Amino acid sequence: MQGKTKLSVTILAYPGMTMLDAVGPNEVLANSPNFDVTWVATQASPITNDLSSFDLHSLPIYDSVKTTDILLIPGGPGDKAVMENQAILDWIKELDRSTLLTTSVCTGSLILAKAQILNGHRACTHWACLKQLAELGVKPQRKRFVQSGKYVTASGVSAGIDMAFYLLEKLVSKNHARDIRFGVEYFPNQFHLFSSYTLPKSQMAKLSRKFGQYYQAAQAKFLS
């Protein structure tokens, strides 16, 4: 904690984001007295998620935050619109200059890469987007999450919860992370028994094509 009583966490919300990418880590970190979690939005309310099942209201606009200890960028099919918004990318890049850690979940790492702060780093993203991550100058990893320098990136959606517990262990203590884990009853069992890490490459390629078609169609809904 480097002498601080609380670390500030800023989560960026945008239309088309996947809620669990942000809500999962929020639930873990906000349950700890060592973190002060704030959500900011890319635009005025409401912010509607990818499934149009949640509307977020009354969030401050992103550029109201000038510094933060931890920046968290979630993923979701609204990611492409964010990647095409230079003002938001510039804000991410500027904020990153002073963060203790810059983090992402799922395709949030594509946004970080587009902001050109992951160049040459190892990073995770959703399994179907690993090639796209490589095309942005990043070394893609087929792992649950990975840390490269001050960048901590998680793979798809639910992996953000595992990343958040890693942050608790790293920044506070293993015992504290254990206490929060018990509080939210998060006891993952045999994650890799059947997962994107264990499927044959031929089956993965087929799934990637299928998911890619779905994802591109979903992205198009959030492009102006």
The DSSP secondary structure of 96-163, one letter per residue, reads HTT-SEEEEETTHHHHHHHTT-STT-EE---GGGHHHHHHTT-EE--SSEEEETTEEEE-STTHHHHH
Cβ atoms of 145 and 124 closer than 8 Å: yes
* Share of residues in the chain with pLDDT > 90 (%): 80
pTM to 2 decimal places: 0.90
Above 90 in pLDDT, residue 113? yes
Helix (H, G, I), strand (E, B) or coil at 209: helix
- pLDDT computed for residue 1 by the predictor: 62
- pLDDT computed for residue 208 by the predictor: 80
- Round to whole Å and give the CA distance between 116 and 110: 10
Write out the catalytic residue numbers: 106
Q: When comparing pLDDT for 207 and 124, which is higher?
A: 124
Cβ atoms of 181 and 165 closer than 8 Å: yes
What is the number of alpha carbons within 13 Å of residue 142 lying toward its C-beta? 11
Fold of 7-220: Rossmann fold (3.40.50)
Consecutive H or E run containing 12: strand 7-13
Consecutive H or E run containing 81: helix 79-83
Domains of the chain, by residue range, sit at 7-220
- Round to whole Å and give the CA distance between 50 and 150: 29
88: its two tokens? 């938001």
Q: When comparing pLDDT for 117 and 4, which is higher?
A: 117
Torsion angle of C-alpha atoms 133, 136, 141, 147, degrees rounded to 10? -120
∠ CA 169-17-156, rounded to 5° = 50
- pLDDT computed for residue 218 by the predictor: 87
For 159-190, write each residue's pLDDT tens digit. Answer: 999 999 999 999 999 999 999 999 999 987 55
- pLDDT computed for residue 98 by the predictor: 96
90: its two tokens? 């510039």
Identify whether 25 is preceded by a cis peptide bond (ω within 30 of 0): no
210 confidence band (pLDDT: 50, 70, 90) = confident
- pLDDT computed for residue 197 by the predictor: 64
Above 90 in pLDDT, residue 216? no
Region 37-61: what's the mean pLDDT?
95
Q: What is the mean pLDDT of the chain?
A: 93
Region 39-65: what's the mean pLDDT?
96
For 62-88, write each residue's pLDDT tens digit. Answer: 999 999 999 999 999 999 999 999 999
- pLDDT computed for residue 191 by the predictor: 53
Consecutive H or E run containing 7: strand 7-13
3 confidence band (pLDDT: 50, 70, 90) = low
